[in-house]
Amino acid sequence: MGAWGSGPFENDGAGDLVASIGHGDFTFASVEWAFEDDYLEVDGGQIAVALLELVLIVRADRKRDPLVEELDLDDFADALTGERLAWLIDMVERTIASSDSELFELWDEQGPEELAAWRIPVVDGLEDLRVLTV
């Protein structure tokens, strides 16, 4: 799975995303490849969860995870549009859906406690994002 914890930035997909933002070459188009198939592979799920957390940091003043404490999010924040936020809601919904998400399946295989430790904060963050887009 390429993860060392259940947090939004504790995996390879999020690490690549954070590096891209840090280098100044992130665009939403640069991650679209991860969401093209009907079945959401692990990279797409990890990227969706990390994007969700980053949006909540810049739009809802969420406390920064130490892994992104020094990350400059100004350009990322400028790229957020209503259309992109709606797209992100859809991608996070796919990530937490049991039938369409490899990431969900991998956490489910770890057992109910591990699944809950990963999934509950994502569901809560998704609800926070929905409130922001109303």
Other C-beta atoms closer than 10 Å to the C-beta of 54 total 27
Instruction: Assign 115 a pLDDT band (cuts: 50, 70, 90).
Output: very high
Q: Is the model's pLDDT at 99 over the cut of 90? A: no
- Model pTM above 0.85: yes
Please give the backbone phi and psi of residue 35, each rounded to the nearest 5 degrees, phi first: -125, 10
Give percent above pLDDT 70 in the chain. Answer: 99
The full set of domain ranges for the chain reads: 12-132
The rounded mean pLDDT for the chain is: 95
Which amino acid belongs to residue 129?
L
pLDDT mean over 18-23: 97
Contact in structure between 4 and 55 (CB atoms under 8 Å): no
